[in-house]
Copies of this chain bind each other. A is one copy, B any other.
Amino acid sequence: MQSDFKIHINNNLSILKEGKLLIAISGGIDSVVLAHLCSQMELQFSLAHCNFNLRAEESQKDEAFVVSLAEELGVEVFIQHFDTEVYAKAHKCSIQMAARELRYDWFKELAKQLKFDYILTAHHADDNLETFLINFTRGTGLNGLTGIPMVNNNIVRPLLPFSRRQIETFVKDHKITWREDASNASRKYLRNKLRHDVVPILKEINPQLLDSFQNTLQHLNDTVVIVEEQLSAFKKQAIVSEDHLGTTYKIAAFKAVKNQRAYLFEIFKNYGFTEWNDVEDLLEAQSGKLVKSNSHRLIKHRDHLILTTLYHSEQNQKSILIHDAVREIETPIGKLSFNRVEALSDVSNTTIFVDKATLKFPLELRLWKAGDVLHPKGMTGKKKVSKYLKDEKVSLLEKEHTWVICSENKIVWLIGKRADERFKVTKHTKNILKVTLR
């Protein structure tokens, strides 16, 4: 195996020969083999071991083993202890998920601080096959069937083309010792179930399963590139505008392709939507209809679909009270400050001046709502806010994100747009209040 490994590194991962490497090591067979192979190739590496304190004495023995391995190989070793169970409870996730998050966070931090170029993990071809089967079993799309990437930012998996059997043969041939992970032997976890019950039968059906699988992955990954190329051309056609409020797509672009649902899925799949029939129905729906995911909304607005996060529309339904004593307050739209000033200076979209005596505290900061009425400063008479925004040709999204400051439910400021005549500074004003949004 070591000569195949050498060829593989030289041909496909020559970046590792120049870099400073950090090998993630559990003490299990895979990562121990990776360390030995890197050592034989005289790559420049250190070891990083996580002690998750999940298996009492066994965890301590793993740690001791890794320390002695580092000594044997003459390399540096980093050890970190985690209280995995506490983390899992706090984050309401599984122990496995907790261990995964803790591990990668620490590796990345370590790599950043100590300037390691690459983090190496020991995933191999059988891990890759198991991941494929897990995704398939759960239900997925093409992207879920493309396997573990060999290089993903600074994380590199040099053993990915090699099978578990090759690794086992290597340790036998070289009399290498390693630590059996107790959880590997049990069938407790999903992955072990596939490993012990499903994969052996598939290998019985096709003894060349791992080779066929590599070819399949290669073809599927190649296909992904074609899909991405088509989607990128499609987006160029479809996207009208894209800013911090959201992205606007031409409905006509979806209607021009052969399979609109396919494009809807590909374009919006990363935003948590699950009701794809509802999404498709939007194309024909009345203006104003929308579909929500946990994080986003997709809104039909005339000839467009608008994608926006839920953040603004949902989290900000509550109003905020601003008391007389407040000089500065953090709000969902920025920092509002209230200052007594002696004279007017430049008025802008983000600054107004009001006669403090006209205000009744606490003021209320909230999104505008139907029925709100504005006496636009400098004009005689009043106007519904809805009509004002329409006349000003404010976009649907901007409308949704327009806030007001009220005094006794009378609008003082249609924020960013217009102050109200009723609260303006006059020659009788004694206390001028400057209100600024930053």
A interface, CB within 8 angstroms of B: 133, 136-142, 145, 190, 193-194, 197-198, 201-202, 204-206, 208-209, 211-213, 215-216, 219-220, 222-223, 225-231, 233, 257-259, 261-263, 265-266
State the CA gap A219–B212 with chains docked (Å): 23
Known: A142-B142, A219-B142, A220-B142. A259 touches B136 (CB 8 A): no
Shortest distance from the beta carbon of A50 to any chain B beta carbon, whole Å: 27
Contacts of A206 in B (CB 8 A): 137-139
Q: Measured between alpha carbons, how far is A230 from B229 in the docked complex, in Å? A: 8
By the criterion CB–CB under 8 Å, are A223 and B193 in contact? no
Say whether, besides A140-B216, A212-B138, A259-B225, A201 and B198 are in contact (CB < 8 Å). yes
Contacts of A258 in B (CB 8 A): 225, 228-229
CA distance A206 to B229 in the complex (A): 34
Task: Specify which chain B residues have a CB less than 8 angstroms from the CB of A223 in the assembled complex.
Answer: 141-142, 223, 227, 262, 266
Given A193-B201, A201-B197, A229-B230, also A219-B265 (CB < 8 A): yes
Q: Given A137-B212, A139-B216, A230-B230 in contact, is the A259-B190 Cβ separation under 8 Å? A: no
Question: Is A139 touching B225 in the complex (CB atoms < 8 A)?
Answer: no
A226, B227: Cα distance in complex, Å: 6
Contact at B137–A226, with CB atoms within 8 Å?
no
Which 6 pairs show the lowest CB-CB distances between chains A and B?
A139-B212, A222-B262, A230-B230, A141-B219, A225-B259, A142-B223
**Chain B residue nearest to A266 in the complex (CB):** B226
A-B contact pairs, 30 of them (CB 8 A): A136-B216, A137-B205, A137-B206, A137-B209, A137-B212, A139-B206, A139-B208, A139-B211, A139-B215, A139-B216, A141-B219, A142-B142, A142-B219, A142-B220, A142-B223, A145-B145, A145-B220, A190-B205, A193-B201, A193-B205, A198-B201, A219-B265, A222-B261, A222-B266, A225-B259, A226-B262, A227-B227, A229-B230, A229-B257, A233-B233
Report if A263-B197 is in contact (Cβ < 8 Å); known contacts: A137-B202, A142-B142, A205-B190. no
Residue of B nearest to A202 (CB): B137
Distance between Cα atoms of A227 and B141 in the complex (Å): 14
- Closest B residue, CB atoms, query A200: B197
